[in-house]
Chain A
Amino acid sequence: MFAYIVRRVLATIPVMAIVALFVFSLLYIAPGDPAAVIAGDQATPDDVERIRASLGLDRPYLVRFGAWVWDIARGDLGVSIFTNLPVSTMIQQRIEPTLSLMIVTLILAITVAVPMGVVAAWRQGTTIDRAVMAFAVLGFSVPVFVVGYMLAYIFALELDWLPVQGYTPFSRGFWPWLQNLILPAIALGSVYIALIARITRATMLEVLQQDYIRTAKAKGLGQRAILFVHALKNAAVPIITIIGIGLAGLIGGAVVTESVFAIPGLGRLTVDAILRRDYPVIQGVVLLFSFVYVLVNLAIDLAYTLFDPRIRY
């Protein structure tokens, strides 16, 4: 088990190296010249050339890549072209809102979607089941920003239950913090909930057909113990897998959600950086997201062993 963890952690190195190469290259080949943008409308070609040299953009591709990787390895993500602040500092300033949004969404999605899927499978073919499935289809097909604006309109503007937008740091208290995150989490989580609920239902339907469920019933166990202990633990592996896969979508969705609800997080930082062609910031954020994704996948692989003793590494 320990050897497996070490192997998996080491295996993330080449993965991250390839990700880094892509991140670096994508911006290298993207249209638009950051030197020209910084120089502004009045600049002469000489000015642009001077800025390009000062940014090191005139050096060969591989040299720049090597230097970039070396800097990152030492924890230096570069300096923003626009704010002149270190990228790592900018990310630190913006990470709390995004992390908060992700965690609240994740908890909300799992606590809502898993019981939904379980009950739908148990009551297969009934109105409850159909309602869950209808919700799942709806959750898939309505885009995040539509759900976001609708929620903001109904619960913030009309009913005035929750704030329209913005973010309150956790240090100012749990409830103020959560208040600002409820609507964004629902908006961001709707696709995620739909996905998890569907997979939970499908997996549970299969598990409930198994002989050991009949055994559990013959032992005199109640419906809740049968569903949530005997069946759900067997359904856990596919459900956890989809939670992990969905997390990638969540990262993309966070960018949109933060824009809709004016949350000053990494998503907003990314969008702003892209609009300004702030290369070091874009690279830093994308690299961070990739790293988180690789880590989450590692955590999921390890979590399998908690739920299914037949899986051994």
Chain B
Amino acid sequence: MALLEVDALQTHFRTPDGINRAVDGVSFHVNAGETLAIVGESGCGKSVTAMSILRLIPEPPGKIAGAIRFNGKNLLEATDKEMRAIRGNEISMIFQEPMTSLNPVLTVGRQIGETLRLHQGLSAQAAEDRAVEMLNLVGIPEAKRRVREYPHQLSGGMRQRVMIAIALACNPKLLIADEPTTALDVTIQAQILDLMRDLKHRVGAAIVLITHDLGVVAEVAERVVVMYAGKKVEEAPVHALFNRPRHPYTQGLLGSVPKLGSSLTGEATRLAEIPGLVPSLKQKIPGCVFASRCPHATDLCTAIAPALEEKAPGHVAACHYALREGALAA
């Protein structure tokens, strides 16, 4: 049994001008100890998916439907109390903005220790000792002094390390990381990714990594889910996805990443881009959600939505034409 099974997840928001279908029928699973990446452009619903797993979406205006089974238990049917016992304990989360995700008026030690006291019933002293250990673990020097410091005394990279320390303090089975490196300098990004990879092996937690950065995906993920306009359009093991993307959207995403050795000047090596914008999530689209931007779209695509089909073992894509090899590789 998978550690986390997300089944036909729908997260909709009621807005003054209609229902926003931020996540519309997404299914995936995460095995224990595995790293799954969810990729897509801004506004494709990947962050909302992450927040939905921990039910951090304010309801109303949000509404979550489908099923989110964690260790076989449907979190959408859990009581508030049961959810609180899971959050920060069995499933924890790292957010995109290290500068604003820590409470500015509480010490770092207090913020790490808080989860330990809450979930493991540690005393204040034991929690602080453990907080020092956690800071050491995430590579913060002078941990003994740092636990008494406030977030504004730390750099962005340090703060993200603190967030990771908070997230891992209770040895969670699943870590959801929502764009954990996006707000950081490139050199710091690499350090944080290394740290996450290292800790994952030590703690043995599964990771759901939300990102738009395909470089990050290639480095840390084992499997990849590609989302577009609130829907899953492709899922594959990481090598298969990079070697043979099946969905035209994934192909477009990969085409927009510069390759090592390609010249950055000259017309011939111009970076490919996907024309157009993500469609509004407020209207139901009858056909394929990507049809309006797809270079290969036909009448069939605009009329009938393609179902997710297994195109190769463990490799699914939602495209009518994805089987016809060569035709899309253009």
- Chain A residues within 8 Å of B, Cβ to Cβ: 210-212, 214-222, 229-230, 233-234, 236, 307-310
Contacts and interface: CB of A to CB of B under 8 A. Distances in A.
Contacts of B87: 217-220
B255 interface: no
Given A217-B56, A220-B88, A309-B105, 6 more contacts: A211-B101, A214-B95, A219-B115, A219-B166, A307-B105, A309-B152
A220 B105 contact: no
A211 B114 CA distance: 17
Nearest to A213: B103
Nearest to A215: B101
A215 B95 contact: yes
A309 B56 contact: no
B92 A219 contact: yes
A120 B85 CA distance: 27
B195 to A, nearest CB: 19
The 5 A-B residue pairs whose C-beta atoms are closest, nearest first, are: A219-B88, A220-B87, A220-B88, A211-B100, A212-B103
B54 interface: yes
A212 B114 contact: no
A218 B88 contact: yes
Contacts of A220: 83-89, 115, 118-119
B104 A218 contact: no
B206 interface: no
B102 A215 contact: yes
A218 B114 contact: no
A212 B118 contact: no
Contacts of B92: 218-219
Contact of B106 (A210, A214, A233, A236): A233
A234 B114 contact: no
Among the interface residues A211, A214, A219, which one has the most CB atoms of the partner chain B within 10 A? A219
Contacts of A236: 105
Nearest to A310: B152
B150 interface: yes
Nearest to B118: A220
A23 B256 CA distance: 75
B106 A230 contact: yes
B44 interface: no
Among the interface residues B54, B104, B166, which one has the most CB atoms of the partner chain A within 10 A? B104
B194 to A, nearest CB: 23
Contacts of A234: 103-105
A211 B105 contact: no
30 contacts: A210-B100, A211-B100, A211-B101, A212-B100, A214-B95, A215-B101, A215-B102, A215-B103, A215-B163, A215-B166, A217-B56, A217-B87, A218-B88, A218-B92, A219-B118, A219-B166, A220-B86, A220-B87, A220-B88, A220-B115, A230-B106, A233-B106, A234-B105, A236-B105, A307-B105, A309-B104, A309-B105, A309-B150, A309-B152, A310-B105
Nearest to A210: B100
A45 to B, nearest CB: 69
A216 B115 CA distance: 9
Among the interface residues B84, B105, B163, which one has the most CB atoms of the partner chain A within 10 A? B105
Contacts of B119: 220
Nearest to A232: B105
Contacts of B102: 212, 215
B213 interface: no
Nearest to B99: A211
A216 B105 CA distance: 13
A310 B88 contact: no
A221 B105 CA distance: 17
A233 B111 CA distance: 14
B103 A221 contact: no
Interface in B107-153: 114-115, 118-119, 150, 152
A211 B97 contact: yes
A16 to B, nearest CB: 33
Contacts of B166: 215, 219
A212 B104 contact: yes
A214 B86 contact: no
Contact of A221 (B56, B93, B101, B114): B114
Nearest to B85: A220
